[in-house]
Amino acid sequence: MSTLISNEKETSTDSSPMREERLFLLLSIFIGIISGLVVVSFRMAIEWLTVLLQGSAPAPHQLRLVIVPAVIGLALGVMIRYVFPDVRGSGVNQTKAALYIHNGYISTKTMIGKFLLAALSIGSGQSLGPEDPSLHFGAGVASRIGRYMGLSRERMRLFAPVGAAAGLAAAFNAPISAVLLVIEEVIGQWTAAILGSIVLSAVSAVVVARWFWGPQPMFRIPPVTLRDPRELLAYAVLGVVGGFASLALTKALAYLRPRLRSQSANRQMFMPALAGLFVGGIAYFGVPQVLGVGYGAMDAAMHAQYTIGFLLLLAGLKLVASTVSFSSGAPGGLFATALFLGAMLGSVVGTVEHGLFPSLTGSVGSYALVGMGVFFAAFIRVPLTSVFMILEMSGNYSVILPVILANTIAYLISRSLQPVPILELFTHQDGLYLPSMEEEREDSQLHFEDALKPSSAPILPGGEKLNELAKTVENNSEIAHAAAVLIQCSDGWYAATQTELQQMLTNASADREGAGAKTLEQSVGQARTPLLFPDQPLANALPFFKIWPLLPISNRAIRGVIEGVLTLDDVLKRYQRS
């Protein structure tokens, strides 16, 4: 039996590198390059369509601002109804569905439709953004390449987040943020190999994007100088405001989206047209800044070009316009909306606090920038991503303390007021049950120490010879009747069943091939029980019971000392009590 265990152990650890392993990292780079090109083309298409459909300088009382979004919206509804039924929405949940339901499969037809209709939707003026669809494009590119290469189902599942990171990195020109968002929102758990592939694809995509757009950040503000630590209180106020404000957008979407989705298919076909008419009406009557993505309005808010009243008006109208556009089923994302609302609210808070406390050194632009991260953290519920996103999008690392403080406050407020994250809420509305990354992070995990019991198994020294051990066992009923014993070898532990021990003693008594002169350690071969510690996840123990009757749990501080042992029965009983 000891030979069998050694063979099993060698088979499990000495697997030859497979073709997919050799190709995985190379394909990740290739996915990043293709995704970067797709996202660049998508952004260029949006910019071209925006000028073509809205004009080079949209202004109030231009009839085209009302007519174009409505007509394009009608075309979108017809195309979604009859040609591309899977392109509605942002693409984030579709990517998660591909990962957890469809084994990484995203159809090429859906990607083509998403590209065309999302560009038309945003370019015509629907109050949506390009970042979320870009994430979907990257996942679609990865899915297409994976199918072409004939990868296994397991590899196909891993390719979706690799491509998603590439698409988002190119859209934001921010590789670190893309990697973190995919980890925080799409996959939750990861290994070093997956992380390496995601990083390679994200970096490759950003290199391609910067080849076209240059290395400059999306937004520029002067460096933030915190001469007085009390100024952090001002940013804390912004965190509170952002946390409460994010609830308004979440509740609006939670209310309107399911009501529009519950309409008949024929009625849903006209929803994008009505949304376009509504958003176009807002632009026609004086606020064209709500059209499309709104990067220009964000930049103006950062440079204090709007009054407080107009900033609040922009925030309110953008919230309503984005809710209507997204709920109608028009393709496009909400990431840009979160950044827009955060910039407006941050500029409001910065202007008010500078009026009340002129000694504050932070510019209005710094408050607007921090506000973007605050609203993103509270609404999308990715606190770590939001910090690095603001740092990368601005290239301004002097703002890191205000961002961390304000984002954390906003995130905690959002969690307490809205327990279900918005993206998970969308999956429930769509009848899907995708894993919630936030819940997985919060779940308490059992560890070895939770099921650990003091060792009752006899411990035998590995240096004892078998012929001497036979006498010891004959005179010690505890060893003779134990279900399993632990053998302390010079390089670890070996757990043997009573049957295995008796077989070794039988060989020794018959002196087969000089077995009696062998030590216990020589008899059991090279196999050893795994080196395990009390703080490791309890679920990790389950595969080992296929080979070992019990598992010794070692002390981290004193080598060779065990804290206790685990048996399969102990583990199962502990899970039953949970």
Average confidence score pLDDT of the chain: 87
pLDDT of 221 higher than 80: no
3-class secondary structure, 48: helix
Cα–chain center distance at 527: 38
According to CATH, the topology of domain 448-577 is CBS-domain (3.10.580)
CATH number for the region 229-268+280-442 comes to: 1.10.3080.10
Written as one string, the DSSP assignment of 452-480 is -B---S-EEETTSBHHHHHHHHHH-HHHH
Superfamily of domain 19-213: Clc chloride channel (1.10.3080.10)
List pLDDT tens digits, range 36-48.
Answer: 999 999 999 999 9
List pLDDT tens digits, range 226-245.
Answer: 767 778 888 999 999 999 99
Strands (DSSP E) contained in 241-296 are none
Point out which residues pair with 493 in neighbouring strands.
488
List pLDDT tens digits, range 374-416.
Answer: 999 999 998 889 999 988 888 878 888 999 999 999 999 999 9
Q: Domain residue spans in the chain? A: 19-213, 229-268+280-442, 448-577
pTM: 0.82
Tokens of 549: 């009757």
Range from 40-44, 48-52, 128-132, 457-461 carrying the lowest mean pLDDT:
457-461
Where do we find the tokens 């709500």?
290
Give the pLDDT confidence score for residue 502 in this predicted structure.
86
DSSP 196: H
> What is the pLDDT confidence band of residue 8, given thresholds at 50, 70 and 90?
very low
Q: Do domains 19-213 and 448-577 have the same CATH topology?
A: no
Report how far residue 78's alpha carbon sits from residue 268's, in angstroms, rounded to the nearest whole number: 9
pLDDT of 429 higher than 70: yes
For the chain, the 3-state helix, strand and coil shares in percent, each to the nearest 5, are 70, 5, 25
CA-based nearest residue to 201, from 397, 3, 28, 460: 28
More confident residue, 163 or 17: 163
More confident residue, 51 or 443: 51
